[in-house]
Amino acid sequence: MANILVVEDDEIMLKAIKNILSKDGYNVILAKNGKEAFDKLENADYDLVLSDLMMPYANGLEVISRLKNDPAKKHISIIIVSSVGNEETITEAFRLGADDYLKKPIMAGELLIRIRKLLANRAIRHSL
C-alpha cells in the first residue's frame, strides 16, 4: 500500500488523519512541521504528501516548492489540507505544484476518495 507523509502541526488533526488513513490500509508517517517533513522526505520515498499550510519552521508552500524542485521527489503527489481559504493562497499552492486542496474541517470519505484518485492517476501515468 502507498506511503503517505502527513505534515500537520495540530496534534489532534494529525492523529485523526493518521487514523483515517491507517484504517484504509495506508502506511502513514507523521511530521509536526515543515522541518520534520524535510527530514523525513530525505530518508524515505513517499507516494503522497498531505500537508497543512500554516506551520512553524517551514510552511506548506515551502514543502510543495522543495518537493517539486527536487528531480528525485517531484513525482510525489501533494494534497494541501488547510483552514486558509483565500484565493491567493490556494492559487499559489496550485502554481507551486499541489495536486489538490481540501479545506478544514475535512470529511474522511472525501479525503480518502481524493487520495485514491490521485494515486490511481499516478499509477496510470507511470504505466504509460
Domain of 122, CATH number, reads 3.40.50.2300
Task: Report, as an integer, the average pLDDT of 37-61.
Answer: 93
pLDDT 10s digits, 100-122:
999 999 999 999 999 999 999 88
What's the confidence (pLDDT) of residue 47? 96
Domain count across the chain = 1
Residues 74 and 122: beta-carbon distance below 8 Å: no
β-strands 27-31, 77-82 pairing: unpaired
What range does the domain containing 120 cover? 3-127
Neighbours of 27 (CB within 10 A): 14
Please state, rounded to an integer, the average pLDDT across all residues of the chain: 93
Cα 86 to Cα 97: distance, rounded to the nearest angstrom: 17
Mean pLDDT along residues 37-59 = 93
